[in-house]
Structure 1
Amino acid sequence: MIQIEETVFARKRWIESKMLAYGFHKTNETYILEKPFLDGNFKAILSVTSKGLVTGKVMDRMTQDEYYQLRQETSDGAYVHTVRSAYLSLLKEIATSCCGDVLFASTQANRLTQAILDNFQVRPDFPWNHSARYQSYGAFRHSSNRKWFALIMNVKRGVLDKDGNSGQVDIINVKIRPEQAEQLHRIPGIYPAYHMNHKTWISVVLDETLPDERILEFIDTSYQLTIH
């Protein structure tokens, strides 16, 4: 089950000044918010790391226990639905109050987007924005031939690791020289391309496994290989 927090805060950028004004407090490199909701019967505890990773807990204030039913797919009674809906509304309020919109879910994807703009003067377009499933997929194209040299997608981690993991992750597809494929596939964070030719494209996970500088080298190679 995809976490509620992941759904709400995807493609959001946290703004520190707004977080502090809303009531977050900073401990080391983590921002913490504790906020009652649903007439004070429950308390949300939200943690946001300096990289924008969000985790949340919902505590039943009567029992002082975490309200695990919130995240159980099999728990679909009226009261659980009420708590879940109230928590979702609170998270949306926090997102509106403390965040700005960004193009992609991960911080690394947005940094690379800015680097591509700086290096190649190319902004992404979203050719599938009419589709709920693929609307966040952004293509970076040559202005001359409209070929894309990079494609950022948000996919389930399990489609890469083949392990059923339903957590979402941003990836970037870039073109490579065929003779590089076998060697690159052995590098942590690099996979045979998702939904593209495995011999000439790779998918790189944008979760900080590889530094921006290394990924930008792949993007530059892809740009050169697709320019004609």
Structure 2
Amino acid sequence: MKDIINNIFRRRKVNLTRLPAYGFSEKKGRYFYHTVLPGSGFSMEVEITGKGLVKATVIDAETNEPYTLHLTDSASGSFITGVKMDYEQVLTDIAEHCFEPDVFKGTQTKAIIAYVRETYGDELEFLWAKTPDNAIWRRKDTQKWYAAVLTVSRSKLGLPSDEMAEIIDLRIEPEQMEATVDNKKYFPGWHMNKRSWYTIILDGSVPEEEIYNRIDRSYRLATK
């Protein structure tokens, strides 16, 4: 059970304000949800703590006892598979509707995410299942990207370290690239067109206010 729950919720954080609208009831700081699995008729109880820890239990309708075969790798059969699929679907739907992405951990990265949300009303889009540590922001009107937030090894930027770093890619006028990129604070755009994108490591080496201004500039450039 922990593996299934961890796989679904491990890169997310709970938004407690969304739980009541979904159908959760609150009792002493814990939130409870009940549903019936369509294929089996079994009951399913989901409990979420204020910190976002998730517990889920399936109850056999005939015995009124917990059912666990869907959590056992060695168990097989179409009925068990159906219960497992329904169980995972309920949890996935809760994750998508009541939780938010929580991939990036850096203090500066979180500040920038908050700035973009407050300024433009945009949320990060995680487009690539194979690279879940990468996301983008795009303008609503043109659908063009104006920033990407990624996690890469510093060595990929030409630095003498394999330490992982959170970075942001931003647009820039091609004629400004040479004067901007110094390979210390500003780097050629990682996985982007290096004529019109550059990279900043989100480790405090560039002040947040300057990054905000550069995000605004990149946003304006995403109109063409």
Could you say what secondary structure the match of 1:208 adopts? coil
Give the whole-Å Cα distance in 2 for the aligned partners of 1:176 and 1:222: 6
Q: CA RMSD in A?
A: 2.3
Cα deviations by residue, 1:85-127 (Å, 9 ceiling, x for unpaired): xxxxxxxxxxxxxxx9833131111110000111111111100
Q: Which letter maps to 1:144?
A: D
Question: Rg larger in 1 or in 2?
Answer: 2
TM-score (norm 2): 0.53
Check if 1:157 corresponds to 2:154. yes
Q: CA deviation at 1:187?
A: 6.8
Contact 1:125–1:138, Cα closer than 8 Å, also in 2: yes
Change (3 A) 1:112 1:223: same
Contact 1:11–1:106, Cα closer than 8 Å, also in 2: no
Cα deviations by residue, 1:29-70 (Å, 9 ceiling, x for unpaired): xxxxxxxxxxxxxxxxxxxxxxxxxxxxxxxxxxxxxxxxxx
Change (3 A) 1:161 1:184: same
User: Aligned residue for 2:117?
Assistant: 117
User: Aligned residue for 2:207?
Assistant: 211
Structure 1 unpaired stretches of 5+: 1-9, 14-99
User: Aligned residue for 2:221?
Assistant: 225
TM-score (norm 1): 0.52
Match among 173, 190, 196 for residue 192 of structure 2: 196
Could you say what secondary structure the match of 2:176 adopts? helix
Q: CA deviation at 1:166?
A: 1.6
Corresponding pairs, count: 129
Give the whole-Å Cα distance in 2 for the aligned partners of 1:101 and 1:148: 19
User: Aligned residue for 1:184?
Assistant: 180
Change (3 A) 1:185 1:168: same
User: Aligned residue for 2:164?
Assistant: 168
Could you say what secondary structure the match of 2:147 adopts? strand
Contact 1:11–1:105, Cα closer than 8 Å, also in 2: no
